[in-house]
Amino acid sequence: MSLSIPTLGAGTFRLKGDDAYKSVEMALNAGYRHIDTAQIYGNEKEVGQAIADSGIPRQELYITTKIWMDKLGKDSFIPSLQESLKDLQVDYVDLLLIHWPLKDEAVSMEEYLKELKQAQDSGLARHIGVSNFTVAQMKQAIEILGDNVLYTNQVEVHPYLQNQQVVEYCRQQNMIVTGYMPFAYGDVLKDGSIKHIADKHRATPAQIVLAWMAKSGFVTIPSSTKQANIESNLAYVHVKLDDEDMESISKLDRGHRLANPDFAPEWD
């Protein structure tokens, strides 16, 4: 599968109002071309306005949004996506995700995945995928949609939660893993091993984590409201981690999961 999605994107989770607008504006000015939002973030209008004001040609951008759990039914799925597109001021998104699988099957997976595919078939989304799906749920999704239809599974991934079973299954299925919260709300940036590697490479701890994510084959979408961080994160591409660095980071995995709401699935 060719990677048409930029490895580093600007996330907008927890950013509201002017913060969301400014963060996207700074990211686009700094050179980011991949922007990630979701219906539940309540910031699609601000994200869309920042994109519109940037004047960057639409085809140069990679825009992701996600359908929230109360919009998965046949009656509301496509209308809610059309509302998102209107807020984002675009005719299509590059990637549309199911934000969380439904625990209670109030809407069957078959129903909402067929709506997802319909969004792609009608040109409202270039690629489609899932978020927070377990191995069992991905297997079920692939049974419904067939092979090589789902482009990514967006899940929490950082040095403290390396999510190996999910990652391994995605690789077998030719699905990209998009890792969210790569810094674990800053926890991993304080880690002694990460700081040691950062000193060795004359880099920031954040650049080390992003270089590790990229070298491990992950796409990632950190969010920030600080221009200095937004700009310096892009410089991760100059960091060349060696086998010893990668080995050292692989040992940091401790199942430290931060995104675990009561509606989360039974994690692998």
Closest by CA position to 180, among listed 218, 146, 222, 233: 222
Alpha carbon distance 236, 201 (integer Å): 11
Flag whether pLDDT at 206 surpasses 60.
yes
- 41 catalytic residue (yes or no): yes
What average pLDDT does this structure show over 120-126? 98
Contacts of 97 (CB under 8 A, 6+ apart): 38, 64, 65, 66, 67, 128, 129, 130, 131, 152, 154
Closest by CA position to 10, among listed 263, 230, 232: 230
pLDDT band per the 50, 70, 90 thresholds, residue 3: low
Tokens 């991993």 belong to residue: 188
pLDDT in tens, 224-259: 999 999 999 999 999 999 999 999 999 999 999 999
How does 96-117 read in b/e, with b if 16+ C-beta sit within 10 Å? bbbbbbbeeeebebebbbbbbb
CB count in 10 Å sphere of residue 17: 11
Mean pLDDT of the chain: 97
Q: H or E element: which one contains 141?
A: helix 135-145
Dihedral Cα 187, 193, 195, 197, nearest 10 deg: -140
Flag whether pLDDT at 2 surpasses 70.
no
Closest by CA position to 197, among listed 236, 169, 170: 236
CATH superfamily, domain 10-250, is NADP-dependent oxidoreductase domain (3.20.20.100)
What is the pLDDT at residue 81?
Answer: 98
Instruction: Domain ranges for the chain, please list them.
Output: 10-250
Q: Report yes or no: 200 and 177 within 8 Å, Cβ to Cβ.
A: no
The identity of residue 211, as a single letter, is: A
pLDDT band per the 50, 70, 90 thresholds, residue 105: confident
Percent of the chain at pLDDT above 90?
98
Quick one: tokens of 21? 């607008």
Out of 41, 112, 160, 169, which one is annotated catalytic?
41
Alpha carbon distance 11, 224 (integer Å): 8
Flag whether pLDDT at 1 surpasses 50.
no
pLDDT in tens, 139-153: 999 999 999 999 999
Flag whether pLDDT at 4 surpasses 90.
no
pLDDT in tens, 33-78: 999 999 999 999 999 999 999 999 999 999 999 999 999 999 999 9
